[in-house]
Structure 1
Amino acid sequence: MAMLSTVRRSIVFSIPLAKHSLSSSSSFPLSSSPPPRSSDENLVSATVTILKHHRSKSRWSEILSLAPPNSSCFTPSHVSQIILQLRNTPHLALRFFNFTIHHSICSHSLSSYATIIHILSRSRLKSQSLQLIKSAIRKFPDSANPSPNPPRIFEILVKTYRTCDSAPFVFDLLIKAYLDSKKIDLSVQIVRILASKNIFPHVVVCNSLIELIAKSRGPFAAYDMYKEIFNGKEVKGVMENAYTFDILMLAFHREGVVEKVEDVWKEMMAKNCSPNVYSCSVLMAAYCEDERMENAMKVWEDMGDKGLMHDIVAYNTIIGGFCKVGEVDRAEEFYRDMVFNGVECTCVTLEHLINGHCMSGKVDAALVLYKDMCRKGFNPESSTIGVLAEVICDKSGVFEALEFVRAVIKKHDVAPRKTTYELLIRRLCMEGWMEEALKLQVEMVGKGYAPNFEIYSSFIDGYVKQRDDIKAEALRNEMLSKIPCKDS
C-alpha cells in the first residue's frame, strides 16, 4: 500500500476534530494538544535511558526492576511518552510495547495503542501496525448497536495523529483491518468521513472494499460504492485502475447481467484505463455465456491488437464458448493454437473439449481426451463424468457406461452426481436389469443420495414391464408416503 500524496498529508495535518455522523457535514479534528505529562517524569526518563543506552541483554531486567511484573506500574500515558521518545527506533518501541503486555506492567488504553500504531506507520512498518490495529479492535470493541459516531479507535487515531507525526495511510490500515474482519459498514463509514474532508484511501483499499461488497451484497451495491468513491474528480488523489473494473465486471458476470458487464467495459474505455488480459477474459466469458461468439471473437482479436498475450484463461474462455454453441471444430483449432504457442492446458481446457465432443455425439474423441486428461494427472469434475456416461450409454449401452463410471470412481476417488446415478438406474430398469439397478441404488444411497421421484418411477416402470405388480404397487405406496408429489 503506497503512501498517499504530500497534498493529502498536509490536508490531514490541518483539519480540526469533532464528533461526526454519516449524515453530518461538520468537521472533525485531526490534531489535538499534547497528551498530559506523566506524574512521574523520572520513570519515563529512566526507562528511555535504559532502552536507548543499556545493553540489550540487561535493559529488560532493569525495566522490570522499575516496574515488577503484574504491577501495572506504567500508565498508558507513561507508555505513550516513552514510545514517542523512541519514534526514531520503531522496532525498539514495538519491543517495549510488547514487553509491557507480556509482563503485565501496563493496562493499556486505546491512546497507548494509537501511539505505537502511529509510530510504526510513520516508519512504514505496515504489517506490524496492521496487526496492532486488529489487536486494539479486539481489545476495545465498540458497542454492538449501530452508531452514527465513528469507531473509537478512529477518533483516537485522529486525535493523536499530529502529535505522533503519523502517515496518512494509517487510516488505510484501519479500513483494511475492518475489511479483513468483514465489517463492511464500519469500513464504509470511515471512508465517507474521510471523503467529506477530501481524503481518500489508496486505490488498493478502495478495490478491497468494493470487492467485499460485491461478494456479500451483490454487484449493484458494489457499483454504487464505486461511483461514490470514484466520481471523476481527479483532485481526490485516487483513481480507479483496471482491477477496479475487473471486480465489477466479474461481479456482474457471475450474476449473468451481460449488459452491465458491457457498461463497465465501456466506462473503463471512457476513463482511458487500459484493460488487462483478465478484463478481456471476463468480457469474453460474458459473451460466451450469452452465446455471442462473434462479440467474443472481436474481444479476442482486440487483445492481439493491444499487444495483450492470450493466456490460459483467455484460451479456456474462447474454447469453452465454442464448445457451448456446438462449434467443437473451432474449439479444437484454438486448442491446437494454444499448444503451438506453448500455453499449457489445464483440466478445464480438456473438460470443455470433452463436453463439446459429447454434445456432438463424438464419443471416441471425448474418450481420447479423457485418457489424455488421466495421463496429465487431472481429475475430472463430476459433471464431466455424467456427460461421458450419457454418451457411452447411447452408443455402447448401459453396462459400458456403468463400467466406465465405476472405473472413474476407483481411479480418481470422485463421487458422480446424483443425476448420473439416476441416468444409469433409469437405463437399467428400462432394459429390465432390476437386480443390477437395485445394487446401484444401494451404492447411490451409500454416497449420500436419497431416492427421489425419478428413482422410484424408474423402478416402478421396470417392475410393471416385468408384470411384477406386487413390487410395483409396494414401491408406489412407499413413494407416495415419502414423496407425495414430484415437486416435493
Structure 2
Amino acid sequence: MTIQVQVAKLLHQPLKPNPKKIHVTLFFSTSSSEQETLITTAVSILTNHRSKSRWNTLHTLYPNTLPSTDFSQITLHLKNKPHLALHFYQWTQSKSLCHHNLSSYSTIIHILARARLHSHAYNSIKTALINDDSSSTPLKLFEILVNSYRDCGSAPFVFDLLIDVCLESRKIESSIEISRMLLSRGISPKVATLNNLISRVCRKFGVDVGFEIYREFFRLDKEKYEISKRGYGFRGFRVVKPNVHSFNTFMLCCYQSGLVEKVEEIWNEMSEMGCDPNAYSYSLLIAAFCDGGRMEDCEKMWEEMRKKEIEADVVSYNTIIGGFCKIGDVGRAEEFYREMGLVGIDATVSTYEHLVKGYCGIEDVESAVLVYKDMLRKDFRPDASTLDMVVRLLCYKGRVEEAMKFLRSGVGKFDLVPKEKSYEALIKGFCFEGRMDEALKLQAEMLGKGFQLNSEIYEVFIDGYVRQGSEEMAEALRKEMLQTQMHS
C-alpha cells in the first residue's frame, strides 16, 4: 500500500467535532442533467479543440458567469491534464468569469499538487487566502482540502504548502493548529516544514514556546520518547524524526536569543537521538563557546570535526577566528586564517574584520592597518565599527593625519557614516597637536551628523586653547559648557 493511499484513507476519516465546525458543501454533489451536459461539453471543448479556438468557444458556453461548482467539476475531469487545468484556471481569472470560493480553489490546488507543480499550487493557496482574508480562512481551507483530498487524488505535501503559505503570511497560530490536526490523524508534515514552523515560532513567541512546539511536533515527550527513537508513531505510521537541520534551526534560535547553555543542551540531545552533526552544527556550538570565552572547548570541537572528516566551511573558520580575536589571541586566529588559505577557502569581509578588531584590541596598530588595507584592496566594504576602531587606535598612537585619511576614505569610497567616537578621537588628536581650526571643522561636521558635544569634547577644546595661550576662547567655552549642562 503506497503512502499516498494510506494518507488518503486517513484523510477520508471525518474530522473530529469542532464547536466552530465549518459546514462545507462539496462540489461533488449530484447535478441536474442539463448542468452535467454543460460540464461535459466544456470538458470536450478543452480537451479536443485547438488552443486558438478553445477559449473563444468555451466563452460562448459561459458568456457571463462560470459557477464555482462548474469550475470544480470541469477541473476534476482534467486532473490527468494538469497543465490544461492550470490554463483553464488562469483563463477564468483573466476573464473574471468565476467568483472562486475556497471549494473551487481547493480543486485546482489539489490538481496542481497531484502533478507536483509546487509553485503553482503554492500561489493558488496564497490567492485563496488573500481573497478570503479572515482569521478562520486557513482552517476552513484545510478542512475543505481534507474533504476533497481523495476525489482529487492529491499528494500529501499539499498540506505542507498550506502551512508554508500561512507562515509566510505570518499566520503562525493557524500553521500550528493545522499541524496539530494532521498529527492527530497520524500524518506528519515534512521535517523541513516543521523546521520552518519552529523557527518562526521562536522568532515570534520566544525560544521557550518554540521548544515546546519542537518536542510536541517531533513527539519527543517522555512517554513516547522510545517510540519516536524507533521512528514509529500512531497507527503504525512512521513519525518524522528531527534531522540535523531541525537541531541546527533550534540551536540558531537559542544562540540568537543569547541562550548559550541551551545550545549545548540541544547539541547533547542531537547526540542522544543518534543524529550526526554537520559543519554548521559545529559552527553554532563553537560560536556559543566563543561567546563564553571557552576557547579550549572550541579547539576540542575543531579536533572532533577533523577526526570525523567533516570539512570546516568559511562560517566555521570565521567563527573560531573571531573567538580567538575576541580574547586577544590574534596569533592563534592568524594560524586558522592561514589554514583557510591552505585548504582553499577564501576569506570574507568577516574574516578581515575579526582580525582588524583583534589587532586593535591588543593595540598592534601596524598589523591592524596592514590587514585593513588588505581588506580594502580586495574590495571588501568595511563595517563602520571596524573603521571606528582603526581611527581611534591611530589617534591614540598619535597618527591623527593617517586616521583622518582612513575616515575620509571610508566616507568617500564606501559611504560609511563615522561613529561619534571616531569624531571625538580625531578632535582630541587635532587639539592635542594645536590644530584648532581643523578640530573646529570636525566639530561642525560632527554636529551636522546629529551628534552632540559632551563635556569631554569641551575640555579638549579648552585645554587646546589654554596651551595656545588663548585664555579668552577657553573662558568662553567654559561658560558655554556650563550653560549646556544646565539646559540638558
Give the number of equivalent residue pairs.
468
Shift of 1:200: 1.4
Q: 1:376-398 deviations in whole A, cap 9, x for unaligned?
A: 11121111111111221122343
Cα pair distance change 1:217/1:453, threshold 3 Å: farther
State the partner residue of 1:480: 486
Alpha-carbon distance in 1 for matches of 2:318, 2:15: 54
Shift of 1:84: 0.7
The one-letter amino acid paired with 2:18 is H
The one-letter amino acid paired with 2:278 is N
State the partner residue of 2:223: none
Point out which structure has higher relative CO (alpha carbons under 8 A, 6+ apart): 1
Alignment of 1:233-272 (within 5 A): 233=228, 234-236=231-233, 237-272=239-274
Q: 1:345-404 deviations in whole A, cap 9, x for unaligned?
A: 111111111112222221111111112112211121111111111221122343332233
Alpha-carbon distance in 1 for matches of 2:434, 2:3: 78
Alpha-carbon distance in 2 for matches of 1:320, 1:133: 44
Alpha-carbon distance in 2 for matches of 1:463, 1:476: 17
State the partner residue of 1:356: 358
State the partner residue of 1:197: 185
Structure with a larger share of its residues in helix: 2
State the partner residue of 1:54: 49
State the partner residue of 2:392: 390
Alpha-carbon distance in 2 for matches of 1:102, 1:188: 34
Alpha-carbon distance in 2 for matches of 1:176, 1:413: 38
Alignment of 1:33-182 (within 5 A): 34-37=28-31, 40-68=35-63, 71-72=64-65, 74-143=66-135, 151-182=139-170
Cα pair distance change 1:7/1:360, threshold 3 Å: farther
Q: 1:215-257 deviations in whole A, cap 9, x for unaligned?
A: 2333222222111111232324311111111111111112222
In the alignment, which of 219, 233, 254 is matched to residue 207 of structure 2?
Answer: 219
State the partner residue of 2:15: 17
Q: Compare 218-227 and 266-275 and name the one that shifted more.
A: 218-227
Alpha-carbon distance in 1 for matches of 2:481, 2:178: 63
**Kept after mapping to 1: 8 A contact 2:321/2:351:** yes
The one-letter amino acid paired with 2:480 is A
Cα pair distance change 1:269/1:41, threshold 3 Å: same
Shift of 1:479: 4.1
**Kept after mapping to 2: 8 A contact 1:110/1:156:** yes
Shift of 1:430: 5.2
Q: Secondary structure at the match of 2:31?
A: coil
Alpha-carbon distance in 2 for matches of 1:129, 1:161: 14
Shift of 1:445: 3.1
State the partner residue of 1:367: 369
Cα pair distance change 1:31/1:187, threshold 3 Å: same
Q: Compare 43-52 and 442-451 and name the one that shifted more.
A: 442-451
Q: Secondary structure at the match of 1:396?
A: coil
The share of aligned pairs that are identical, in percent, is 44
The one-letter amino acid paired with 1:242 is V
Alignment of 1:266-415 (within 5 A): 266-415=268-417
**Kept after mapping to 1: 8 A contact 2:398/2:429:** no
The one-letter amino acid paired with 1:34 is F
Shift of 1:436: 2.2
Cα pair distance change 1:161/1:312, threshold 3 Å: same
Alpha-carbon distance in 1 for matches of 2:127, 2:263: 39
Shift of 1:99: 1.0
The one-letter amino acid paired with 1:239 is K
The one-letter amino acid paired with 1:227 is R
Cα pair distance change 1:376/1:403, threshold 3 Å: closer
Cα pair distance change 1:19/1:417, threshold 3 Å: farther
Q: CA RMSD in A?
A: 2.6
Cα pair distance change 1:122/1:403, threshold 3 Å: closer
Q: 1:118-149 deviations in whole A, cap 9, x for unaligned?
A: 11111211111110000000011224xxx6x9
**Kept after mapping to 2: 8 A contact 1:30/1:161:** no
Alpha-carbon distance in 1 for matches of 2:246, 2:458: 51
Unaligned runs of 5+ in 1: none
In the alignment, which of 453, 471, 475 is matched to residue 477 of structure 2?
Answer: 471
The one-letter amino acid paired with 1:91 is H
**Kept after mapping to 2: 8 A contact 1:17/1:31:** no
Q: Secondary structure at the match of 1:161?
A: helix
| In the alignment, structure 1 residue 231 sits paired with structure 2 residue 219 | yes
The one-letter amino acid paired with 2:14 is P
Alpha-carbon distance in 1 for matches of 2:462, 2:147: 77
State the partner residue of 2:225: none
The one-letter amino acid paired with 1:333 is E
The one-letter amino acid paired with 1:114 is S
Q: Compare 178-187 and 162-171 and name the one that shifted more.
A: 162-171
Alpha-carbon distance in 1 for matches of 2:214, 2:318: 29
Q: Compare 131-140 and 317-326 and name the one that shifted more.
A: 317-326
**Kept after mapping to 1: 8 A contact 2:356/2:371:** yes
Shift of 1:18: 4.7
**Kept after mapping to 2: 8 A contact 1:13/1:30:** no
